């Protein structure tokens, strides 16, 4: 029996992302997709847990150069 996949959308005035649990050959992953930008990432449980080890300044740093540094 195939497990039904659920998808959630989270948005505000600045961004929209969809979240979906997906089964891969390496186990369950959380798929995070930005429809506006077309970016997608799959994160395993340890990668997700590592987000909780960060403080707000880590994420503020991501936002200072959201698309990476320009070289």
In this prediction, residue 4 carries a pLDDT of 58
pTM of the predicted protein model: 0.80
Q: Tell me the percentage of the chain whose pLDDT exceeds 90.
A: 72
Q: What is the pLDDT of residues 24-53, one digit of tens each?
A: 999 999 999 999 999 999 999 999 999 999
Helix (H, G, I), strand (E, B) or coil at 56: helix
In this prediction, residue 71 carries a pLDDT of 58
Residues 6+ apart with CB under 8 A from 22: 5, 28, 29, 30, 31, 42
| Cβ pair 22, 33 in contact under 8 A | no
- Rounded Cα distance, 50 and 30, in Å: 14
User: Across the beta sheet with 39-43, what order do the strands follow?
Assistant: 7-11, 16-24, 27-34, 39-43
Confidence check: pLDDT of 3 > 90: no
């Amino acid at each position: 029996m195939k497990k039904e996949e659920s998808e959630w959308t989270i948005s505000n005035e600045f961004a929209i992302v969809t979240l979906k649990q997906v089964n891969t050959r390496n186990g369950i992953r959380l798929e995070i997709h930005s429809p506006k930008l077309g970016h997608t990432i799959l994160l395993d449980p340890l990668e997700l847990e590592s987000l909780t080890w960060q403080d707000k300044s880590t994420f503020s740093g991501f936002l200072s150069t959201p698309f990476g540094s320009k070289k």
